[in-house]
Structure 1
Amino acid sequence: MAVATKERARSEHRPPPPSSTLGRMWHSTIGKKTAMAVTGAIMLLYLVAHMVGNLKVFFGPDEMNGYAHWLRTIGDPVLHHEWFLWIMRPVLVAAVVVHGVAAYQLSRRDLAARPVGYAHRRRPASYATRTMRWGGVIVALFVVWHLLDLTTGTVNPDFRSGEPYHNIVETFSTWYGNAIYIVAMLAVGLHIRHGFNSAAQTLGAGGRGRDRALRLTSNALALVLTVGFLAVPVGVMTGLVD
């Protein structure tokens, strides 16, 4: 009786669901998962483009610096200098915030739904699944470091504005720059490996005969992005980029 009373009191103090369609969708579990899938897709597209751009470092300083200059002139003459980047940045920030908030709220909801541990041992989850939460935190902290390192130059020992090739070499000439980047990129790879497949299932792409293909695609995508990003610090460390 006491337990039922507490549950009733808790439900009575629970805030009512939002009245708007968008609010109700966000309030639901499937809505949060959909928000994570869509924002994850936005960030994944950015990562692919970013990796391709990073690989230009292997073609020398003129190629890399020219690419960085081109990014600032996209849309010219309709858009002014760097307008495209300033349009893209808020979109990425919004995607990261929505993705993180939805993940946190889903995690809290999952814990609240089963506050008592399982009576029987379940099949162990994959390493990527078990590390999704702390992997997301590592990636978020890395983004802050990455901006301070190669965008503002705050933590770069010899930052030169408008010379990304030089700044990249300086970053990966330090042991801590390599360590931070490598750990973060491994976390990104694990996050993509699990997240891509989960997002595809949420958006209805899964099904009999397609699940295996989705798993292979997520594994391949995670591998390509991880190797592509890690190629840059490895290239500096081995002298291919200097």
Structure 2
Amino acid sequence: MARTMWDSTVGKKVVMAVSGMIMLLYVVAHLYGDLKIFFGPGDVNGYARWLRTLGEPFLHYEWLLWIVRVVLVVAVIAHGVSAFQLSRRDIKARPDKYVHKKPRASYATRTMRWGGVVLALFIVWHILDLTTGTAHPGGYQELHPYQNVVDTFSTWYGNVVYIVAMLALGLHIRHGLWSAVQTLGLGSRTRDRALKTTANAFALLISAGFISIPVGVMTGIVN
């Protein structure tokens, strides 16, 4: 049953929708924590330490954090694999290019595939920069995200990479959220307009929230 569901186009779309929602919840939680940087190093550094003690004493130190990471990795892989396979099916179904091109899809729709690639590359860079410290400019400080963020956004390339990725994230959320709602059967003719407006506003808020962090460092609000 599960195999049959996965092999079907509808099944892959459902996997994309559910995994996308899981990642979106993480993005919202991640943004909430990141915005604490505007309240000073004490707040954001303390929050980073608190995350590692979640679930204690029932769970050991960092266990819940690792559970979240594993779930997130599974969601990212499921999302990426299903997106790739659906893309391949779409190409096989229409191997010949149209004679007359009529691009009716939105800019976000047309760039979903490239946006996904950009975000995948960004995630790798972001982990190496602010999680492991492997690619971090200057001296990486464990459990001192405030200082590490300031270091990263004190470089021109750190700002460029991050802002471009967050713009791609906004476009991805805008189209992905709308598509997920339709796939899960939550849309309707009476609600479609409101759902589209909500998806657009939500994507804008997420992108603006993340971009405000490098802007804060560049303008000296965060220093």
Q: Normalising TM by the smaller chain, what interval?
A: over 0.9
1:180 aligns with 2:169: no
The answer for the alignment partner of 1:193 in structure 2 is 174
Matches within 5 A, 1:65-104: 65-104=45-84
Identity of aligned residues (%): 65
TM-score by length of 1: 0.90
2:192 corresponds to which letter in structure 1? D
| CA drift at 1:122 | 2.9
The answer for the alignment partner of 1:133 in structure 2 is 113
1:53 corresponds to which letter in structure 2? G
Query: Quick one: distance in 1 between partners of 2:194 and 2:139?
Result: 46
Structure 1 portions without partners, runs of 5+: 1-20
The answer for the alignment partner of 2:18 in structure 1 is 38
Q: What is the RMSD computed on CA atoms of the aligned residues?
A: 0.8
Structure 2 portions without partners, runs of 5+: none
Query: Quick one: distance in 1 between partners of 2:173 and 2:194?
Result: 15
Query: Quick one: distance in 2 between partners of 1:119 and 1:236?
Result: 49
1:208 aligns with 2:207: no
The answer for the alignment partner of 1:226 in structure 2 is 207
1:189-220 per-residue CA deviation (whole Å, 9 max, x = no partner) reads: 00000000000000001111111011011101
Return the match for 1:164 from 145, 153, 156. Answer: 145
> How many residue pairs are counted as aligned between the two chains?
222
Query: Higher RCO, 1 or 2 (CA under 8 Å, sep at least 6)?
Result: 2
The answer for the alignment partner of 1:107 in structure 2 is 87
Query: Quick one: distance in 2 between partners of 1:203 and 1:125?
Result: 21
2:82 corresponds to which letter in structure 1? A
| CA drift at 1:123 | 4.2
Q: Secondary structure at the match of 2:5?
A: helix
Query: Quick one: distance in 2 between partners of 1:114 and 1:99?
Result: 23
